Amino acid sequence: MLKIDHVDKSYVKGGFFSKKRKKVLNDISFECGAGECLGIIGESGSGKSTLGRLLLGIEKPDRGSVLFDGKSVADRKVRFGNISAVFQDYKSSINPFFTVEDAIMEPIKSYKKKHSMVDTLLNQVGLHPSYKKKYPHELSGGEVQKVCIARAISTEPKCIVLDEAISSLDVSVQTQVLDLLKDLKKMYNMSYVFITHDIQAAAYICDRVLIFRNGQIEEIVRIEQLKDVKSEYAKKLLQMHITF
């Protein structure tokens, strides 16, 4: 469904007129199948969030292709309604002047869907329909992120890119959100690309994980085989963050 084929990405380094470039992604290739949750694990600065922006069509690769059902995600028509996103910074993800209802309706206005959908979506993410008249500043961080998730599923997408979607939440709320995401994935038969530095969270929700290092894929492994990773970097990363 989602196919990344020999992708490179670099940025100008050292100022506006500089000709130097820093390569952030180097020859990246992988696929995410229908209904799969694929984890992208990497330390800060490894290039995983850059990859997320390419998957969402926010940026374009220097080389290679990012395809959804065989078509380039650079085409807005390909992305529209099919790929959604939930980001780390939920505070800036919603217009502070929007009510919860306005925020959730934003991506589905062009579908001419009814406002009554908002009640259903709020129920699905564990919020009472009365929340629809509230503003972001009246909600907790976990509640705002649940609104962001409701907005992401409003178009019934085939894939959601979750970029550090739980890392800004209290630990007590993180498991709630992960359980919610698992339930919604089954309900809508969606795929997830779960970008994170939290290996425990990835192990909890993902089917496979792609271990990222300095803009390259170090290893791709199924969750049940996570303790059997082969590369030394992957072994050290796992020993630091997870206990089997």
A 10 A CB-CB count for 23 gives: 16
Note whether 167 and 196 are within 8 A (CB).
yes
| Torsion sign (Cα): 170, 174, 86, 207 | positive
pLDDT tens digit sequence for 19-41: 788 899 999 999 999 999 999 99
Predicted confidence (pLDDT) at residue 129 exceeds the cutoff of 60:
yes
1-80+198-244, what's its fold?
Rossmann fold (3.40.50)
Q: Which candidate, 217, 211, 216, places its Cα nearest to that of 237?
A: 211
Size of the chain, expressed as the number of residues it contains: 244
What helix, strand, coil percent values describe the chain, rounded to 5? 40, 25, 35
Looking at the chain, which runs of residues are DSSP E strands?
A: 2-12, 21-32, 37-41, 63-68, 71-72, 83-87, 159-163, 191-196, 208-213, 216-222
**Predicted local confidence at residue 142, as pLDDT:** 93
Q: Which candidate, 60, 61, 90, 48, places its Cα nearest to that of 193?
A: 48
* Per-domain boundaries in the chain: 1-80+198-244
- HSE-CB at 116 with a 13 A cutoff on CA atoms is 1
Mean pLDDT for the stretch of residues 91-96: 86
Mean pLDDT for the stretch of residues 134-158: 95
Looking at 146-215, which runs of residues are DSSP E strands?
A: 159-163, 191-196, 208-213
**Predicted local confidence at residue 115, as pLDDT:** 66
Which secondary structure element, helix H or strand E, spans residue 238, and what is its range? helix 232-241
CA distance 165 to 32: 19
Q: What is the pLDDT confidence band of residue 44, given thresholds at 50, 70 and 90?
A: confident
Predicted confidence (pLDDT) at residue 238 exceeds the cutoff of 90:
no
